[in-house]
A and B are shown apart, each in its own frame.
Chain A
Amino acid sequence: MPQYAAIIYASDVDPTRPEAVEMMKDYDEFGAAAQAVIRGGAALYPTATATTVRVTGGKGGDIVTSDGPYAETKEALTGFYLIECADLDEAVKVAAQIPGAWDGAIEVRPVVDFGK
């Protein structure tokens, strides 16, 4: 069965802070309801904690780091789920239940199956 990454772009908050408790309740509910299709995932600390790494001049070059996310956007990449669904329509239905979809957006991308 195909897998999809459901990548969450939403408000850039720290899910461990007390302010996020309501939101985390929504995520817990989603996690329980979608238990049958969730194969993995992670929640991320806010973009303020991000470090972007580049190697100048290609492989073996100098490592250059910068503070912050790769792209500054209104909504931040806050986490993702790996879900297993029969087809895109099913995956879209699941993605619509992720709380991040309600005030942000979920990017649904098919996962490459190298096993074939």
Chain B
Amino acid sequence: MTGAGDAVARLVRDEGTRVLATLVRVTGSVDLAQDAVQDAVVRALETWPRDGVPANPRGWLLVAARRRAVDVVRREAKRLGKEADAMPAVDPCPDPVSVRDDLLRLVFTCCHPALSLDAQVALALRTLGGLSTAEVARGLLVPEATMAKRLTRAKQKIAQARIPYRVPASEELPARLAGVASTVYLIFNEGYTGRVSLIAEGVRLARLLASLMPDEPTALGLLALVLLQDARRSSRFDASGLPVLLSAQDRSSWDASLIKEGVELVGVGLRRTPSVPNPYVVQAAIAACHDLAPSYAETNWDAVISWYDVLLSIQDTAVVRLNRAAAVAERDGPAAALALVDGLAGLEDYPWWHASRAELLHRLGSASALGALDRAVETGLPAAHAAHLRYRLSP
């Protein structure tokens, strides 16, 4: 495709999500709206590169998609020998507030807690991310037919169980937004287990969320967190795909503009949460401590540990305590950290607990490090991390 064609494709993809959000409201059906927008997008990709992009691309797509939806509904009604229900008109020049509200409705419907997490992830990538079913399947390493079935089932549940197309009321918003944020963060993290395209999708969705809800600490904190992690993307794996520990990463390759943006968002997020800390903002603050340290040795471990203490005050989980212990190892030494790690109950099946023990035992010169590594592998430590740890432990 030509450069101009690419630009059109990008524009169509961005606008497509907004147009879809409005069409779901107008048609009352995710399925019908998707079909209609798909049709409009195909027409746009055919005609725009040839005839030029219309002055109002969003309006063009809205009108074309609605026309298609009306056709489909009429055809279906005729087949059943019924009158077609009238479909509300679309405003070809919608005001920004109504565009935002439709997008928010789509966000909260796709990430509705009555849908399984798998279904939420798939729907978010398909509708909000604008990926094709094949692309979603590839991203999640699932056969395309399985993904198509998963998406169909999710859309059927939305239609048949009447999952509403609505932004939750303010008293429900914090809990519902936390659900949306964890779905987006999951998509981003899936990217780090080897599906690189999902990293960009996760960042894109986090940006969308923050732009739609610029006053919500969860949205700001989530965006900050993914940007501050994404800033280190190029140094997290070596040329052969092995993970590189934070201590060994080439900091000169970190993306300074992403770090700056992330740190500023942390600042905004902290100012908006003076009394009750927000878990995403606090995790982003920890990531910022790492991103801002000129070298691993110069990391401000006191700050990292005290942010973990804040995080524990709102999210006291064994995993958070394990991560805190890693910072304690750097400040107070491996023996202090191992005592903390060994004191954590219930992580016998968690590979990273065993991996932490292996690392700390190794630093203490203990032969039991190898046994801990074996347990980490048995409980499912990703192969690349296992190989790396084995390399460190080898004499």
Q: Which B residues are in CB contact (< 8 Å) with A87?
A: 162-164, 166
Mind listing 13 A-B residue pairs with CB under 8 Å? A4-B161, A86-B162, A86-B164, A87-B162, A87-B163, A87-B166, A88-B164, A89-B163, A89-B166, A92-B114, A108-B161, A110-B161, A110-B162
CB atoms of B114 and A2 under 8 A apart? no
The distance in angstroms between the C-alpha atoms of A108 and B112, with both chains bound, is: 15
Task: With both chains docked as a complex, state the minimum distance between the C-beta of B367 and any C-beta of chain A, in angstroms.
Answer: 46
B240 at the interface (CB under 8 A from A): no
Q: Which B residues are in CB contact (< 8 Å) with A92?
A: 114
Q: Which A residues are in CB contact (< 8 Å) with B275?
A: none
Task: With both chains docked as a complex, state the minimum distance between the C-beta of A87 and any C-beta of chain B, in angstroms.
Answer: 4
Task: With both chains docked as a complex, state the minimum distance between the C-beta of B35 and any C-beta of chain A, in angstroms.
Answer: 20
* Chain A 96-112 interface residues, beta-carbon cutoff 8 Å to B: 108-110
Q: Which A residues are in CB contact (< 8 Å) with B252?
A: none
The distance in angstroms between the C-alpha atoms of A109 and B166, with both chains bound, is: 20
Look across to chain B and name the residue whose beta carbon is closest to the beta carbon of A92. B114
B2 at the interface (CB under 8 A from A): no
Q: Mark A74-89, 1 if CB is under 8 A from B, else 0.
A: 0000000000001111
Q: Which B residues are in CB contact (< 8 Å) with A108?
A: 161
Task: With both chains docked as a complex, state the minimum distance between the C-beta of B154 and any C-beta of chain A, in angstroms.
Answer: 13
CB atoms of A110 and B164 under 8 A apart? no
Q: Which B residues are in CB contact (< 8 Å) with A89?
A: 163-164, 166
The distance in angstroms between the C-alpha atoms of A4 and B161, with both chains bound, is: 8
Which of A86, A88, A108, A110 counts the most B-chain CB atoms under 10 A from its CB?
A: A88
Tally of chain A residues near chain B (CB < 8 A): 10
* Chain B 92-125 interface residues, beta-carbon cutoff 8 Å to A: 112, 114
A4-B161, A87-B164 provided; 15 other pairs, C-beta below 8 A?
A2-B162, A86-B162, A86-B164, A87-B163, A88-B161, A88-B163, A88-B164, A89-B163, A89-B166, A92-B114, A108-B161, A109-B161, A110-B160, A110-B161, A110-B162
Pairs of residues from A and B, 6 with the lowest C-beta to C-beta distance, nearest first: A87-B164, A87-B162, A110-B161, A88-B161, A88-B163, A110-B160
Tally of chain B residues near chain A (CB < 8 A): 8
The distance in angstroms between the C-alpha atoms of A52 and B163, with both chains bound, is: 34
Task: With both chains docked as a complex, state the minimum distance between the C-beta of B175 and any C-beta of chain A, in angstroms.
Answer: 12
* Chain B 133-167 interface residues, beta-carbon cutoff 8 Å to A: 160-164, 166
Look across to chain B and name the residue whose beta carbon is closest to the beta carbon of A89. B164
Look across to chain A and name the residue whose beta carbon is closest to the beta carbon of B163. A88
Task: With both chains docked as a complex, state the minimum distance between the C-beta of A110 and any C-beta of chain B, in angstroms.
Answer: 5
* Chain A 39-98 interface residues, beta-carbon cutoff 8 Å to B: 86-89, 92
* Chain A 1-21 interface residues, beta-carbon cutoff 8 Å to B: 2, 4
Task: With both chains docked as a complex, state the minimum distance between the C-beta of A115 and any C-beta of chain B, in angstroms.
Answer: 13
Task: With both chains docked as a complex, state the minimum distance between the C-beta of A88 and any C-beta of chain B, in angstroms.
Answer: 5
Look across to chain A and name the residue whose beta carbon is closest to the beta carbon of B168. A89
Task: With both chains docked as a complex, state the minimum distance between the C-beta of A90 and any C-beta of chain B, in angstroms.
Answer: 8
The distance in angstroms between the C-alpha atoms of A4 and B112, with both chains bound, is: 18
Look across to chain B and name the residue whose beta carbon is closest to the beta carbon of A108. B161
Look across to chain A and name the residue whose beta carbon is closest to the beta carbon of B165. A87
Q: Which A residues are in CB contact (< 8 Å) with B163?
A: 87-89
The distance in angstroms between the C-alpha atoms of A86 and B162, with both chains bound, is: 8
Look across to chain B and name the residue whose beta carbon is closest to the beta carbon of A109. B161
The distance in angstroms between the C-alpha atoms of A86 and B166, with both chains bound, is: 12
Look across to chain B and name the residue whose beta carbon is closest to the beta carbon of A85. B162
Which of B112, B114, B162 counts the most A-chain CB atoms under 10 A from its CB?
A: B162
Look across to chain B and name the residue whose beta carbon is closest to the beta carbon of A112. B160
The distance in angstroms between the C-alpha atoms of A110 and B160, with both chains bound, is: 7
The distance in angstroms between the C-alpha atoms of A98 and B112, with both chains bound, is: 22
The distance in angstroms between the C-alpha atoms of A4 and B166, with both chains bound, is: 19
Task: With both chains docked as a complex, state the minimum distance between the C-beta of B115 and any C-beta of chain A, in angstroms.
Answer: 10
The distance in angstroms between the C-alpha atoms of A88 and B108, with both chains bound, is: 13
Q: Which A residues are in CB contact (< 8 Å) with B161?
A: 4, 88, 108-110
The distance in angstroms between the C-alpha atoms of A2 and B28, with both chains bound, is: 15
